[in-house]
Amino acid sequence: MCAIFGLVGNPEASKLTYLGLHALQHRGQEGAGIVSTHQQRPYALKKRGLVGDVFSSAELAELPGHHAIGHTRYSTAGGDAACNLQPFLLRTAQGWIAVAHNGNLTNASVLMRRLEQMGSIFQSTADTEVIIHLMARTGEPQLEKALTAALAQVEGAYSLLVMDQNKLIAVRDPHGFRPLVMGRLQGKPVFASETTAFDLMGAKYEREIAPGEMVIVDLKEQEPLRSFFPFHAIAPRKCVFEHVYFARPDSHVFGAGVYETRKALGKQLAQEQPASGADMVIPVPDSGVYAAIGYSEAAQIPFEMGIIRSHYMGRTFIEPSQTIRDFGVKLKLNPVSGFLHGKKVVVVDDSLVRGTTSKKLIRHLRDAGVAEVHLRISAPPTKHPCFYGIDTPTQKELLASHQTIDQIRNYIGADSLGYLSLKGLLEVCSRKSEEGFCHACFSGEYPTVQAHAALST
């Protein structure tokens, strides 16, 4: 999961891209980058770290031009090495190309080996660079034709912003796994992974880039924005976990408000997994807050913030010795001990993956004097890895892949454990959004061939 942002026709393009990336920081915290273009020459800066730390005012001033694209990285394919930071900027016989990618190509390793055998030299281990090599090998001078030919050879998830000296292109894979939206700022096109980036700068949301759509913007403004669908139409398979967890709650994703959808998931969870006799509903902040509000409303059990989250955990925080048990979890999530003493609580979270954090949190709740802990998850059990841009653990590390719900409940120490059903999840999301979701992490039903192959190896 990464973030991409781009805009054209604004004298403060790099500064606005910085703001857009800042609003999308939740989609990737390992590094950030911006490529701008001025008088057909590219200017680039990318570094490890958060957006606010990567770009200073002086550095943004060294990214001139009216057009820019940006990226925040959350490593999936290729790992978190600095060489994998985006946007990628490479020179070809046809000129320079900059690419920012959110997603994951399931056949990237096969294509990379083939390209290396043909003489290609890769500067990174990221799957995104495969697209650029495929484009370069077409020999096609028109950016959209080279990109179309390259993408016809790849499989998997991609929401892309691609820029050269003449054009900026936004394109989404035919399944539409990852979100990509378009808006207008002072009448000029602007693109982002989520609408929250538009809110920060006052851009007006216009629409989603449709699955399989390619939108072309001429940087010289000699022709209007063009849109076409160069790929065979296939069934949409948008990532349902964007609604469950990844997208910001103030965003509009896949045609629906994320906040409203998460509340509705909580209400559905309360219907499917009630907890009679509970004194209060408390969320695991911040990811469980909105589902917990919905659960509270539907179950008519008071909502309370019984767990406080620290928002100031730095990457270089010095931990004490191992004699202080479970320090990391308690530093981030701390129960309100006096308030919770003797209470029966429903704890709502969005997911349970390895179970280690839930186990430690429940232990802390017991230490705070909680009488009963009923854990409710606003998604189905996560049983399968994701190959479409989410860095999930291997299948054997996923607790639900090899343990029953009762075994998981016993492991984490809860009095009861209840998940939202897959049917309930899809019913809510289909009511709130457009139909056609990928739910492979819950069901194991992968939409692409190479994902099945990867799972079997």
User: Which residues form the catalytic set?
Assistant: 2
Helix (H, G, I), strand (E, B) or coil at 29: coil
Rg, Å, the chain Cα set: 23
Q: Which helix (H) or strand (E) holds 111?
A: helix 108-117
Q: Which residue reads 């920081």 in tokens?
A: 25
Distance CA 419, CA 381 (A): 7
Closest listed residue to residue 346, CA positions, set 399, 271, 273: 273
Phi then psi dihedrals of residue 364, to 5 deg? -65, -35
Give the angle 192-197-202 at the CA atoms, nearest 5°. Answer: 115
Distance CA 43, CA 66 (A): 12
CA–CA distance from 409 to each of 258, 395, 416, 421 (Å)? 29, 19, 6, 17
CA–CA distance from 267 to each of 300, 379, 416, 426 (Å)? 10, 12, 18, 14
Check residue 399 and report its DSSP letter: G
CA–CA distance from 217 to each of 9, 35, 122, 193, 234 (Å)? 10, 16, 28, 17, 25
Closest listed residue to residue 412, CA positions, set 373, 455, 358: 358
Report the relative pairing of strands 437-438 and 238-239 from DSSP bridges. parallel
Say if CB 82 and CB 142 are below 8 A apart: no
DSSP string, 30-71: SEEEEEEEETTEEEEEEEES-HHHH--HHHHHTS-SSEEEEE
Single-letter code of the amino acid located at 454: A
Q: What is the largest CA-CA distance in the chain?
A: 71
Q: Which residue reads 């186990």 in tokens?
A: 359
